[in-house]
Amino acid sequence: MKQKNNSRLVSAAVIITMVILARPAAALKKPDKPVDWHISAATATFDQERDLYIARGDVVITGGKTRLEADYVEFSNRTKQAHATGGVLLIAGEDVVTCRALDINLAAETGTIYNGTLFVEKNNFFIKGETIKKTGEKTYQADRASVTSCPGENPDWKISGRDIKVTIEGYGTLNHATLWARKAPVFYSPFLAFPVKTQRKTGLLTPVATRSDRKGVEYEQPLFLALSRSSDATVYADYMEKRGVKAGLEYRYILSRESKGAFFYDFLHDRQTGEQSPGNEDFNVTATPDRTNTRRYWFRMKHDQTFSNAWSLNLDLDYVSDADYLREFQEGYTGFDRTRAYFEDHFGRSLDDYDETIRENRLNLNRTWSVYSLNMALDWQDNVLARQNDEDDTTLQSLPAITFNRSKQQAGTLPLYYDLDSRFDYFYRQDTEDALVRGSRTDLSPRIYLPLDFNGFLALEPSLGIRQTLWYSDEFQGTPGDETAFHHREIYDIDLELSTAVSRVFTLNNGFAEKIKHNIQPAIIYSYIPKTDQDELPEFDEIDRIERENRVTWELTNRFTAKTKKPGKSSGITDYAYRDFARVKLYQSFDINKEKDHMEEPFSDISFEGEVRLSPFLFLEENLDWSPYDNRFTSSETGISLKNRRGDAIHGEYRYERSTSESLYARLDTVLTRNIAAYTSFEKDLLAKKRIETQTGVVFKRSCWTFSLAFTDDVDEKALSFMLTLHGIGGFGNL
């Protein structure tokens, strides 16, 4: 090849390849192996004296996870410094730079970007500026620049400022920040910090700001703490103009794949009490006595522990200062709704309802074998009202409750099956009002079954249960002068179930299904428990008084199953999917004892249970009870959900209990345009003829931002809520 001035000219389309051991600065992490740098260009020269490559036309330099493209590049083999101009594109890991010109050290990943844009792929995040300095593998600086997550030259929003510093998987800061909506400035701040991260990392989370009649102006700021790979925490400061500052702490940890826990704690020194509001409308929000305490708190915790020998332990704690706390602080970061959802999602166990004034605290130890199960629990029911008002607490506690069960199994080679339910309880009351304070009970219930099959058409299963119950309580006297501490009860029960099943397959061959199977299962069940004198026995709960029973129940169950072909099979073998899309059940009981004793209404209500899911877009549910004596519905629960592929949806619920309650709930979601959706919901107490809550909202959604606005009007207060989310930066609001 012809040489000129110590340089060599490389012809078009020739690829120049060299292997270079990257030796970055000491502050940078040393790579595990040498980096191979590859250069391709239309033409290139090499200056041996300066160890410099000069490439022109479709220049591409690659090495490791870095790729540089440009019209013109000067690359120093000695320092790994590159100068690129004309249509520059730099891909460094998951970051992309486009610019007019670029000076960069490819080994150290530091340099300067001129008239360019940095795109952070994980956050869909753009930084645009005349001069942007890449100061490290994940750090950038700019004197004057703008940040946005919107593509294009005229983005929907951007934040411009001075002295911008950005750390990927960290934070960005800028001075004299201005938020622009298109070309109009809408907000100014002398300083702004924003997250630029997708991984767990210590830092501020999105704040919440709102205003209400009860709390005044409210601002809640969470701080996330990434403590280790297996634990993290969140600290909350919730400023309420009329109430004070509520502090909160959440701590979450993982001990192993199946052992984990979380505890949450809130504390508020409240400026208001229930007595300080006229009529108690504002601050005493339930029908409880006036709240006089100002020190308010809520501690809740769940823990799951699995041991190597198949033992498992679960802990549930729920301790609140007063009966109004959970309803008054039902929403928000540390509110009841969010806590309950977290526990349900991560532990599969919920909390008592927010208005429940007796709250369960439980420590449970369990061991399971193939056919046996052992469960030991300490169950403490915390009576919040009794504790809050310093009243006698007569709540029944079970400390401990131990159950040992055996599942239904065949008795050797005999045609008999049997199972066992057993339970031991030690009961305790802190105080008493003509009730037992303490005592124990052992309850054993073995049962045998004799399943009979008649040519696969008719099934008959009689079963016999024997129940032995033992009590010990030195406080109980069954009859005057009786000082016996031990008491016992023996009782038996008989069940007889006769059932059959018939089915038919219908061929459709349409878009809904290829075939539908209709299965009909009629059954008649007879249950008998003799009358037993139990008046002279201790009474702690419903197990201590078993009512006589002589009852016949009929059932008729219909199930519908659709068979459809699975799409996407290219092997020529047809695969099918089966889906139960409908179930309808009717049942009613007849009380023989009532008929013998000439009592009224021996027939129970006729009950109907129905579920229909014709498609992923339509679901119907109906539960009805109908009285055969006055030909009226005694209860009803009706639900319907309908939606389409565009996102429009309607959901309605109707609930009715005769002479007790009647309510209606409806919600409508509609997509107005590709970027605008609206919703409205309505709930009304039809029996009291008063509205419970209405809510109306609108959601504006674009590729790089979302804005939600909602107005809520309920029995406690009116509230206007909003949430503005700038994608890639975070959100601000209180939805």
Half-sphere exposure of 208 (CA within 13 A, CB side): 19
Residue 696 lies in a domain: no
- The DSSP call for residue 13 is T
Burial class (CB in 10 A: 0-12, 13-18, 19+), 4: exposed
- Assess whether 419 and 360 both reside in one domain: no
Tokens of 699: 């959601």
Is residue 167 a part of any domain in this protein?
yes
Identify the pLDDT of residue 330: 86
Of 391, 417, 445, the last residue of a domain is 391
> What integer pLDDT is reported at residue 310 of this predicted model?
83
Q: Are residues 466 and 551 in the same domain?
A: yes
What are the 10-residue block averages of pLDDT along the chain, 735 residues in total? 39 37 36 73 89 92 89 91 93 86 88 89 82 86 89 87 84 86 85 71 74 82 88 93 94 92 96 61 50 92 90 96 90 90 93 93 94 95 91 90 96 94 93 76 97 91 96 74 82 96 91 90 97 89 93 97 77 78 96 93 96 89 94 94 91 92 94 93 90 90 86 77 77 62
Q: What is the pLDDT of residue 586?
A: 97
Structure tokens at 351: 């909390």
Structure tokens at 619: 């679901």
Residues 514 and 441 in one domain: yes
pLDDT of residue 50: 87
pLDDT at 571: 55
Inside any domain, residue 229: yes
What's the CA gap between 127 and 309, in Å, rounded? 55
| pLDDT on residue 23 | 33
Residues 447, 327 share a domain: no
- Residue 408 shares a structural domain with residue 387: no
Structural tokens at position 250: 């959440």
How many domains are there within the chain?
Answer: 3
Residue 194 is predicted with a pLDDT of 75
- Final residue of a structural domain among 543, 578, 604: 604
Spatial distance between the Cα atoms of 318 and 336, rounded to a whole number of angstroms? 11
Position 102, amino acid: L
Instruction: Clarify whether residues 404 and 378 are in a common domain.
Output: no
pLDDT recorded at residue 416: 95
> Are residue 264 and residue 343 in the same domain, yes or no?
yes
User: Which of helix, strand or coil describes residue 502?
Assistant: strand
Inter-residue contact 489 to 534 (CB < 8 Å): yes
End of a domain among 366, 391, 416?
391
Query: Are 403 and 366 a contacting pair, CB within 8 Å?
Result: no
Q: Is residue 623 part of a domain?
A: no
Helix-strand-coil percent breakdown of the chain, rounded to 5?
A: 5, 60, 35
Q: Is residue 720 part of a domain?
A: no
Q: Beta-strand (E) ranges in 135-240?
A: 139-148, 157-167, 170-181, 184-196, 203-204, 208-212, 216-228, 231-240
Q: How far apart are CA 364 and CA 379, in angstroms?
A: 8
Largest pairwise CA distance in the chain = 125
* Neighbouring residues of 444: CB distance < 8 A, sequence distance ≥ 6: 420, 421, 422, 467, 468, 469
509 in a structural domain: yes
Specify the pairing of strand 730-733 against strand 718-726: antiparallel
- Whether residue 226 sits in one domain with residue 121: no
Residues 415 and 326 grouped into a single domain: no
Among 589, 592, 596, 599, which residue's Cα sits nearest to residue 550?
592
CB atoms within 10 A of CB 449: 19
Q: Is residue 192 part of a domain?
A: no
Entry pTM: 0.68
Residues 95 and 220 in one domain: no
Note the pLDDT of residue 25: 34
CATH of the domain at 138: 2.60.450.10
Query: What sign does the CA torsion over 63, 66, 71, 76 have?
Result: negative
Q: Is 166 found in the same domain as 93?
A: yes
What is the extent of the structural domain holding 36? 3-179
Residue 136 is predicted with a pLDDT of 82
pLDDT at position 566 is 80
| 588 is a domain residue | yes
Shared domain check, 316 and 353: yes
